Amino acid sequence: MRRVKQLFPKWTNLIPTAAAIGGFGGLVAVAAGVTYWFTPEFWEVGYMPEQPVEFSHQLHAGELGIDCRYCHTHVEESAHSNVPSTSTCMSCHTVADQFSGYLAKATSVDGSTPSAHWQSADLQSLRSYHGEELPVPWRRVHLVPDYAHFNHAVHVNAGVSCYSCHGRIDQMPVVHQTESLSMGWCLECHREPEKHLIDTSQTSVTRLWEVQELLSQEDYAATIGANLRQRLRDQPPQHCGACHY
pLDDT in tens, 76-103: 999 989 999 998 988 887 755 544 444 5
Work out the angle between the directed axes of helices 121-131 and 86-93 (0-180°, nearest 10). Answer: 120
Cα 50 to Cα 14, 47, 173, 197, distances in angstroms = 55, 10, 12, 32
CA torsion angle 169 229 81 93 (round to 10):
-50
- Classify residue 199: in a domain, yes or no: yes
Report pLDDT for 157: 92
**Does residue 21 register a pLDDT over 70?**
yes
Decide: helix, strand or coil at residue 63: helix
Cα 177 to Cα 85, 180, 195, distances in angstroms = 22, 8, 20
User: How far, in Å, CA of 120 to CA of 126, rounded?
Assistant: 10
pLDDT in tens, 198-208: 999 889 999 99
Decide: helix, strand or coil at residue 197: strand
pTM, two decimal places: 0.76
When mean pLDDT is compared over 35-39, 113-117, 127-131, the highest value belongs to 127-131
For residue 235, the 8-state DSSP code is P
More confident residue, 232 or 203: 203
User: How far, in Å, CA of 174 to CA of 70, rounded?
Assistant: 19
CA angle 91–61–119, rounded 5-degree value: 55
- Classify residue 19: in a domain, yes or no: no
- Classify residue 8: in a domain, yes or no: no
CA 56 to the chain's CA centroid? 15
Contact 162, 169 (CB under 8 A): yes
For residue 171, the 8-state DSSP code is G
Decide: helix, strand or coil at residue 55: coil
- Classify residue 161: in a domain, yes or no: yes
Model confidence at 115, in pLDDT bands (50, 70, 90)?
Answer: low
* Biggest CA-to-CA distance, the chain: 115
Report pLDDT for 101: 46
Count of structural domains, the chain: 1
Looking at the chain, the whole-number percentage of residues with pLDDT higher than 90 is 49
What is the residue type of 164?
S
Report pLDDT for 235: 74
- Classify residue 212: in a domain, yes or no: yes
Report pLDDT for 41: 72
Looking at the chain, the whole-number percentage of residues with pLDDT higher than 70 is 84
- Classify residue 184: in a domain, yes or no: yes
Its domain, for residue 183, covers 74-83+142-245
- Classify residue 209: in a domain, yes or no: yes
Which residues, other chains included, contact 244 with Cβ-Cβ below 8 Å and sequence gap of 6+? 147, 148, 149
What is the residue type of 143?
L
**Does residue 104 register a pLDDT over 70?**
no
- Classify residue 232: in a domain, yes or no: yes
